[in-house]
Chains A and B, each alone.
Chain A
Amino acid sequence: MNPLSSLAACQKLLSSRADGFAELASEALARAVALERGEQPIHAFLSLRDTAPCVGPEPSPGASWRAGGCLAGVPIAVKDNICTTDFPTTCGSRMLQGYVSPYSATAVRRLEAAGAWILGKTNLDEFGMGSSTEHSAYGPTRNPADRSRVPGGSSGGSAAAVAAGAVPAALGSSTGGSVRQPAALCGIVGLKPTYGRVSRYGLVAFASSLDHIGVLARSVRDAATVLEAIAGFDRRDATSQRRDPPRADRVSAAELAGRSIGIPGEYFGDELDDGVRAVMERTLGLLSRCGARITPVSLPSTELALACYYVIAPAEASSNLARYDGVRFGRRAPGVATLRELYGRSRGEGFGDEVKRRIVLGTHVLSAPRYEAFYVRALQLRRRVGDDIRRVLGEVDAIFAPTTPSPAFPLGSRCAAPTDMYRADLYTVAANLAGIPALSVPIGDVDGLPVGGQLMCGAWEEEKMCSIGAAIERLVGYDPPRARGVG
């Protein structure tokens, strides 16, 4: 049995042997290194610890694994757009190659305070912009379930590392679905909390009104445990809220009977793959047999959500990424004659295609004659998306829908048509626009390719959402496909 398959398995090993931590860390490192080898490496990590600690290591500064925090001694991976002092933070970009942050993100410091051991930093679409982890300057990540396919994105490295069994949990970030979507395509759990629940201090900004830090794990309970460790007010993030962290021990898979589950018809249109539809219908049948009240609901703004997301997110990105000019931050182009050329070439050479596309788009929609037509209008549509969701959540306990329109697609198949790639976010962007918590749970597969079901609940209802998610997880009993060739 892989001791890294769950937090409970880690804790079992740690408590059973005096050198348990060293053994667990060595195992994690060996598995992570194995993901980088072979003809078709999964390439989940961009940087790793050089060595596992010897027997009886001193914990890293701030760590308390010896003191028995809830993640004591557990190896955790962190997406490479979350700042750490022990590793570079590249954001998957040439622009930040070799950059080491002078501080660690609040979420990372809280993980370490809970005793976690940060194993390494995971691959991502450049600055979090993408849905396949193909837009990394350091090469794509492959899906552990089928190496010819994408793991989803942008937290594809974190999802692959967890799915392949190198770590029991990882941090990701979500701006439009970048935690749930890769979790669904890799057959694991992805949890995006309420906006303001987890501090973004130290998360490299993409679109600040949409950015969240989330958790990827192999079970809802494990995701909730990690969320509890990283959640809570932080004065360094102005959007952080004074709320008690959701408690993992209140997550109970016991009760589905009597729960009203809203099923939005708009998520079951022509866009939905037949195989995913069949898996969803089977799951709804199981929920119904358990006494859950399946209620058809309508979210008419579903299509609007994607359209307004692709105005708001690039607009904010064009502003947030202005700092990467070769002077304040980032790679500096050599041999330039003027300051304008320095800025232009440093940015043109440092950013990849997808980032450049979004900067152009964002700058265009913020330019004076387009500002009201696009940006202001998108903000108004965003309000309508949130109103729709809140209206439905006033009538049901949770909304349940597919996480993605299709299972993992082949590598390279959507790179030539970016707008096709953007459709992968169709079902996930609404929760980011509304700031509500959302959870993807594996519910089956289509020809071996995992499928996720997505739960959305009202703001600050993570405990209820995770309880329903855990009940679905137990009901479905899905066993994620073991990563081929990595054990």
Chain B
Amino acid sequence: MSRRPGFDPEDVRRASELASLSLGPGELERFALELAPLLERFAGIEPKEPASTGRAAADGPDELVARGRESRLRFRPDRPDPDLLRRSPSEGAPAWRASHFVVPRLPAHDR
């Protein structure tokens, strides 16, 4: 039996920060308590029919969470955006060259 992915107040704090959502006193602990059973129930679903549902469905939650950390998918950095008001407006402005905007490089160009 694989270990269940936990859900604690630190997870709630991190998710609320990513979601730009201020939580009141006690909400971190309360939401963790209320939502943990739901995630545990999901994580406890036994994988079935790997051939028809693909590799991810055949793996347990631990394997998937571990694999998520080294995912093949390209994720954005999983952290809140920096506070825009602390940056100078020119930081976000496009660069100019010979009276034209310089098109920013796309991640795809870096591959």
Contacts and interface: CB of A to CB of B under 8 A. Distances in A.
A345 B22 contact: yes
Interface stretch (B56-64, B92-100, B102-110): B56-64
Contacts of B34: 357, 417-419
Contact of A374 (B18, B39, B48, B57): B39
B15 A373 contact: no
Given A310-B42, A378-B42, A380-B54, A361 B35 contact: yes
Q: Contact residue range for chain B? A: 35 or more
Contacts of A308: 42
A374 B83 CA distance: 29
B75 A359 contact: no
A368 B75 contact: yes
B21 A339 contact: no
A62 to B, nearest CB: 38
Main secondary structure on chain A at its contact with chain B? helix
Contacts of B48: 384
Contacts of B53: 380-381, 383-384
Contacts of A325: 20
B45 A360 contact: no
B68 A369 contact: yes
Interface string B5-40: 101000110111011111110010001001101110
Interface in A270-321: 304, 307-308, 310-311, 318
Contacts of A364: 7, 11-12, 14-15, 35, 39
B64 A348 contact: no
A475 interface: no
A45 to B, nearest CB: 30
A363 B19 contact: yes
Contact of B21 (A311, A344, A369, A417): A344
Interface in A371-424: 371-374, 376-378, 380-381, 383-384, 417-419, 422
Contacts of A368: 68-69, 71, 75, 78
A311 B45 CA distance: 13
A268 interface: no
A175 to B, nearest CB: 16
A318 B48 CA distance: 29
A351 interface: yes
A169 B65 CA distance: 47
A478 interface: no
Given A347-B22, A363-B19, 7 more contacts: A307-B38, A338-B85, A343-B20, A349-B22, A363-B15, A364-B7, A380-B54
